[in-house]
Amino acid sequence: GAVVSQHPSRVICKSGTSVKIECRSLDFQATTMFWYRQFPKQSLMLMATSNEGSKATYEQGVEKDKFLINHASLTLSTLTVTSAHPEDSSFYICSAGPGTGFYEQYFGPGTRLTVT
């Protein structure tokens, strides 16, 4: 149980375009999902908390107009990187947890974004 999927696993896009990443909880419902970013050889940095049916909560320093989050259902959250630039190239990971174990977060496999 507690499986989280992400799609795509890898994407290459041109500078100025937008990219959408999907995060799904496959065998449980998640009212809250989290989006992280990880640079090479660094730890995970929380970008935002995605709340089903309401606006996402962004961490300090994360541009909400650049990283659009939509949590349309209890099993799906999307992250859209708008007008991507090379500095947005990174590993993006989502996590979610079964309702009763809020802090027992399970991670998706991650999405490697490369902006050329």
Partner 1 sequence: EDKVVQSPLSLVVHEGDTVTLNCSYEVTNFRSLLWYKQEKKAPTFLFMLTSSGIEKKSGRLSSILDKKELFSILNITATQTGDSAVYLCAVGLDYKLSFGAGTTVTVRA
List contacts with partner 1 (CB under 8 A): 2, 6, 32, 34, 42-46, 49, 57, 93, 95, 101-110
| Cβ–Cβ under 8 Å, residues 19 and 87 | no
Q: Nearer to partner 1 by C-beta: 16 or 109? A: 109
Taking the complex as a whole, the smallest distance from the CB of residue 105 to partner 1 amounts, in Å, to 6
Q: Minimal distance in Å, beta carbon 106 to partner 1? A: 6
112 half-sphere exposure, CB direction, 13 A CA radius: 3
Q: Which is nearer to partner 1, 31 or 82 (CB)?
A: 31
DSSP string, 70-102: EEEETTEEEEEE-S--GGG-EEEEEEE--TT-T
Q: By C-beta, is 5 or 80 nearer to partner 1?
A: 5
